């Protein structure tokens, strides 16, 4: 008899997997996934992977679990006490009650979508404790054909803020059916000397935060991001993609070497990756003394339709004596309008932050029409933007992003925008040029910036290449007067 069988097929042949153990994106945020997701039709039988005793069984809200669940305590031949956790069940077999013995292969319930967005089984293995911090990689126990499937990390992008450097290195696996990444190590070097080695081991929770949130990505200034969501079938993903992020790279470090290791001990090592001495992007415009643009900035107005202008004017000042006055008064144009300042972004960055004070002095939008205040473009096309949109007569703040198929995805916040009032807007971009790029809109509330809405989209072929601020884009026939002041663009505030 095999030590373990797979929970859906009840055999040593692996079940189809979606996201595996380790980092992924969930609710548009970095998330450490403590198990494996198995997509299957609702009602598919779930089998005990190994014989043991029922430790917990119940509905969501019971025993600390948010979905219908079964937990079996089993004894592993080499690891000792293990807790096998089965979540999102549609039903629990009547024989599966607390204290009951179950045999390997016995049906313990059926696949469901309780507290989930699609039917699947989420399975975890927790070592020596029922607490989630004890979770370990299930592929160290389940039978599967281990191959050297991980690619060697390669240089991808670098960010700088002041004297601090950050890097993103990329690697992946050709098939999501072998999600057995376990450990990542990065040597920070000066010449032939290793200054320090930073490490992430998914089975060692001192090296990773066992939680969800972009603020939880880093431990010891290194993290691993997984560029996939749970329902990979629905998203058409057959492979796995990962990024290694290293921040606060010391100034004496001139090269990186990265190593990735799978559950079976197979390794893939990068070549020597030079750390560039690039200039930081840190742009601030306050438009004082009639200064309309600085080096690298240009004025953008509409070529047709008329009625668009951009000037420095005292009436547009939030602080100091001048601000940026952006006007679109035309209602006769046959295309969209713009009246803004524009900056070409340097290539090869993976996080951006832009913020400024905005006053929509006049806004006339028909239903579903928009004016975009902070507008990131790829060429002439939208990449992602923060905008004001007329929804059922209310002017709401929100985000819009251009998907890989060219369609525009909108997400509105519940926050209404007051005409004639100043407010600070901040747009943050994470995971730029990945299939899980995230934009986050913050608005000032009582002197504090508060997240209002976020969107997630694939920017691999549509990453931001330039930024417009002011009236970056307005719907055909719309009119607006937007005041802008204290505009700040930086490339690495989040990572650093």
For 14-30, write each residue's pLDDT tens digit: 999 999 999 999 999 99
CATH code, domain with 212: 2.60.40
Contact 342, 297 (CB under 8 A): yes
Mean pLDDT of 475-485: 95
Is residue 266 one of the residues assigned to a domain?
yes
Is residue 7 one of the residues assigned to a domain?
no
Cβ of 116: how many Cβ atoms within 10 Å?
A: 18
Contact 331, 480 (CB under 8 A): no
Comparing CA positions, the residue from 18, 21, 72 lying closest to residue 46 is 72
Comparing CA positions, the residue from 374, 341, 375 lying closest to residue 358 is 374
Is residue 443 one of the residues assigned to a domain?
yes
242: Cα within 13 Å, side-chain hemisphere: 32
CATH code, domain with 432: 2.60.120.200
Please give the tally of structural domains in the chain: 3
Residues 348 and 474 in one domain: yes
Query: Is the predicted pLDDT of residue 494 greater than 70, yes or no?
Result: no
Q: In residues, how long is the chain? A: 496
Kindly indicate the confidence band of residue 343, based on its pLDDT and cuts at 50, 70 and 90: very high
State the pLDDT at residue 410: 94
Contact 257, 277 (CB under 8 A): no
Is residue 27 one of the residues assigned to a domain?
yes
Residues 305 and 418 in one domain: yes
Two tokens at 447?
């002197």
Query: Is the predicted pLDDT of residue 294 greater than 80, yes or no?
Result: no
State the pLDDT at residue 307: 85
Round to whole Å and give the CA distance between 339 and 341. Answer: 7
Query: Is the predicted pLDDT of residue 85 greater than 90, yes or no?
Result: yes
Residues 409 and 384 in one domain: yes
The dihedral sign for the CA sequence 154, 159, 160, 164: negative
Residues 100 and 128 in one domain: yes
Is residue 354 one of the residues assigned to a domain?
yes
Give the burial class of 412: count Cβ atoms within 10 A of its Cβ; 0-12 exposed, 13-18 middle, 19 or more buried.
middle
Is residue 419 one of the residues assigned to a domain?
yes
Round to whole Å and give the CA distance between 332 and 440. Answer: 34
Is residue 148 one of the residues assigned to a domain?
no
State the pLDDT at residue 298: 94
Q: How far apart are the first and last CA of the chain?
A: 52
pTM: 0.95
Domain stop point among 244, 274, 304 = 274
Kindly indicate the confidence band of residue 493, based on its pLDDT and cuts at 50, 70 and 90: low
323: Cα within 13 Å, side-chain hemisphere: 24
Comparing CA positions, the residue from 422, 349, 150 lying closest to residue 266 is 150
Residue ranges making up the domain that contains 363? 282-490
Residues 482 and 423 in one domain: yes
Give the burial class of 41: count Cβ atoms within 10 A of its Cβ; 0-12 exposed, 13-18 middle, 19 or more buried.
exposed
Average pLDDT, the chain: 95
Residues 63 and 174 in one domain: no
Domain stop point among 220, 240, 274 = 274
Residues 93 and 188 in one domain: no
CATH code, domain with 72: 2.70.70.10
Residues 166 and 29 in one domain: no
Residues 406 and 300 in one domain: yes
Query: Is the predicted pLDDT of residue 482 greater than 90, yes or no?
Result: yes
Residues 366 and 478 in one domain: yes
Residues 344 and 453 in one domain: yes
Kindly indicate the confidence band of residue 390, based on its pLDDT and cuts at 50, 70 and 90: very high
Comparing CA positions, the residue from 267, 309, 29, 325 lying closest to residue 151 is 267
Domain stop point among 117, 140, 163 = 140
Is residue 337 one of the residues assigned to a domain?
yes
State the pLDDT at residue 37: 98
Residues 378 and 339 in one domain: yes
């Amino acid at each position: 008899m095999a030590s373990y069988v797979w929970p859906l097929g009840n055999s040593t042949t692996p079940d189809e997997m979606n996201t595996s153990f380790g980092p992924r994106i969930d609710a548009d945020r970095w998330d450490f996934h403590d198990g494996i997701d198995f997509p299957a039709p609702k009602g598919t039988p779930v089998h005990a992977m190994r014989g043991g005793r029922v430790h917990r069984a119940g509905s969501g809200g019971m025993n600390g679990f948010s979905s219908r669940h079964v937990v079996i305590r089993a004894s592993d031949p080499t690891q000792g006490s293990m807790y096998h956790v089965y979540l999102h069940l549609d039903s629990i077999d009547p024989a599966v009650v607390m204290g009951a013995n179950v045999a390997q292969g016995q049906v313990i319930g059926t696949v469901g979508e309780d507290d989930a967005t699609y039917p699947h089984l989420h399975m975890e293995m927790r070592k020596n404790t029922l607490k989630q911090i004890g979770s370990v990689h299930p592929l160290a126990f389940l039978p599967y054909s281990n191959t050297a499937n991980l690619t060697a990390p390669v240089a991808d992008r670098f960010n700088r803020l002041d004297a601090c450097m950050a890097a993103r290195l990329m690697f992946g696996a050709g098939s999501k059916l072998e999600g057995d990444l376990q450990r990542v190590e990065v040597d920070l070097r000066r010449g032939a000397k290793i200054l320090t080695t930073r490490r992430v081991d998914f089975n060692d929770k001192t090296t990773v935060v066992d939680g969800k949130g972009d603020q939880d990505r880093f431990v010891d200034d290194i993290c691993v991001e997984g560029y996939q969501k749970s329902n990979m079938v629905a998203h058409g993903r057959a492979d796995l993609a990962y990024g290694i992020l290293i921040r606060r790279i010391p100034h004496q470090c001139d090269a990186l070497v990265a190593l990735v290791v799978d559950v079976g001990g197979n390794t893939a090592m990068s070549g020597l990756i030079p750390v560039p001495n690039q200039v930081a992007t840190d742009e601030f415009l306050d438009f004082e003394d009639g200064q309309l643009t600085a080096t690298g900035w240009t004025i953008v107005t509409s070529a047709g339709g008329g009625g668009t202008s951009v000037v420095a004017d005292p009436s547009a000042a939030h602080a100091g004596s001048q601000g940026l006055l952006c006007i679109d008064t035309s209602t006769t144009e046959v295309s969209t309008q713009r009246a803004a300042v524009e900056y070409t972004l340097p290539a090869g960055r993976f996080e951006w932050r832009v913020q400024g004070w905005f006053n929509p002095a006049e806004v006339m939008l028909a239903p579903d029409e928009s004016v975009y205040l902070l507008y990131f473009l790829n060429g002439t096309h939208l990449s992602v933007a923060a905008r004001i949109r007329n929804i059922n007569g209310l002017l709401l703040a929100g985000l819009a992003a251009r998907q890989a198929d060219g369609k525009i995805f909108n997400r509105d916040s519940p926050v209404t925008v007051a005409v004639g009032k100043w407010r600070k807007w901040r747009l943050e971009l994470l995971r730029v040029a990945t299939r899980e790029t995230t934009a986050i809109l913050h608005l000032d509330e009582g002197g504090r910036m508060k997240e209002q809405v976020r969107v997630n989209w694939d920017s691999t072929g549509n990453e931001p290449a330039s930024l417009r601020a002011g009236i970056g884009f307005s719907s055909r026939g719309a009119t607006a007067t937007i005041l802008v002041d204290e505009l700040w663009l930086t490339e690495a505030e989040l990572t650093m």
